[in-house]
Structure 1
């Protein structure tokens, strides 16, 4: 058996403080617990929707609420976390004034897949906490993704996997249920520079802006078009699932803004989804943009700000970016 997550953190030549080490292990343990809950959710009547919405105006699943309650338990973080922001909460919560880090997460990404036993995940981002001694404000969380000290996601699929970065490459760990531990699968993961596979919700074609429509139409034209090659399309309705395929074998994932009023600024959240995933993609040699610009350079103006997301194999992302800049 290869290195455990704990051994990896201890041995890696990374700027990982003891507190950050504890926080990552606590996140991994929490996601292992959630993996077991998800794995028996239908048997325990935890699937289906509640008669309530989150701050995004989205109908919450039972597991959205349960998982959020799991992650906001202060004792879970062993004094390492000063404050928490979650996609499922209106605003931040204070945790421990002495904590060194801010924890930001989407507890169950792709929760619409739960009722059909599809792929879901947990996405998380970690920032340094301010050292002012004052109570936290939302402004303390509103920083560009380039300031993240760690980020990652856990995929709950046929195997539960943790994908993690500290800004010096990407590592993937698998959860061994019988040993109740995480083991290294791949280190220094690199996304292929070129690809012939894209992931997008094609039903929105009529709403897309011209650069996105141009790119996808060229892919669909295949060997008969200007690209001169055939492409495959994939779409799981779970960002973590589609991104994991991109990290594993290359591809481009697109959830662009479009002409509809409720998607004019994009659909995915900057803090909870776009920033940590963009951090991982760049650390694996890929690129992540909102159209014309790099996602990690964005300065969010509110906790639940949305953004357009286009990321994956560098050559394809840069091609889409060039179309935006031409337009």
Structure 2
């Protein structure tokens, strides 16, 4: 057998989680188990996505979620799969989901954690075989036993104990942080395992990619319009997939900035603070990047509603700083 074909398999996600747990003498294993539960749900959802076209589960479900957005069939499937895995795992007392109006109580009164999630980000792209994803955020509960409370669910982003995302694309990757750097794992379907493929991810300080829906540019704030003009003057490349996880993942690795500003129809922005912006903000900061609403650090914002919306500027730190500079100049001009 050719030795070049016998490539090293590497470190599995389970082994990596176990090793990291050993770095913390006070760790008791609940968070490690929770991350394994999320990985299990990811494998199941990945299977459903890969065979969606054959099973006829693409397209809309015929209902709207709390956001007023048309639910896709795979939105509902992913939501069910993740909730089931988290309930069965026993580490979570409550769940916040984009697809559910209210807090989901798991019945695990002793569960120490809250999970906030977007079960399937960009799911409308599944019909055209474009990368989609899952976003999750983990908080330690502040209440004492029983059901999870609103206070548990509306914690400041700095209180996150872990956050991550899964991207379902040409390969399936799980990227997460527990506040000690960012690591990425690629799924090997023939073995049914995630393997460490992107250790200690660091985002470039500056990139040449900007990501936003320029179709809405006429309703963008003047500061964002000016920044996009600046990008064009600098010969930056515009890259916008329309799937937050996919756009964020590309910019994280290659360097760039993702912008979803307030618009005339969405004056508070469109993305959700609790289970989209906070999770990605923790990840990007742990990778050396920055996340802002255009003037304020995302992780400094304290949510007041489960589905609170928020503008987002996230990516390479120098590029986010430049966006804030243009936004500040707009306020001075006013």
TM-score normalized with structure 2 length: 0.92
Would the aligned equivalents of 1:14 and 1:168 in 2 still touch at CA under 8 Å?
Answer: no
Residue 321 in 1 paired to residue 324 in 2? yes
Q: Would the aligned equivalents of 1:91 and 1:138 in 2 still touch at CA under 8 Å?
A: no
Give me the whole-angstrom Cα distance separating, in 1, the residues matched to 2:261 and 2:57: 32
Question: Structure 1 runs of 4+ off > 6 angstroms?
Answer: none
Distance of 1:120 and 1:133 partners within structure 2: 35
Counterpart position of 2:200:
188
CA distance in 1, matches of 2:43, 2:286: 24
The alpha-carbon deviation at position 306 of structure 1 amounts to 0.3
Name which of 268, 281, 284 aligns with 1:281.
284
1:144 is matched with: 156
Does residue 28 (structure 1) correspond to residue 33 (structure 2)? The answer is no
Equivalent pair of 1:164/1:280 in contact (CA under 8 Å):
yes
* TM-fit CA distance, 1:130: 2.3
Separation of aligned partners in 1, 2:38 and 2:145: 25
Where do 1:90-239 residues align within 5 Å?
A: 90-95=101-106, 96-221=108-233, 229-239=234-244
Tell me the SS of whatever aligns to 1:42.
Answer: helix
CA RMSD of aligned residues (A): 1.3
Unaligned runs of 5+ in 2: 1-8
Matched, 1:3 2:11: yes
Aligned match for 1:248, one of 250, 253, 258: 253
Q: Deviations over 1:204-236 (max 9, x none)?
A: 110010111110011112xxxxxxx31101000
Superposition deviation, residue 296 in structure 1: 0.6
Q: What residue ranges of structure 1 are gaps of 5+ in the alignment?
A: 222-228
Distance 1:164 1:94 in 2: 24
Whole-Å separation in 2 of the counterparts to 1:51 and 1:180: 33
CA 1:315–1:75: 2 relative to 1, 3 Å: closer
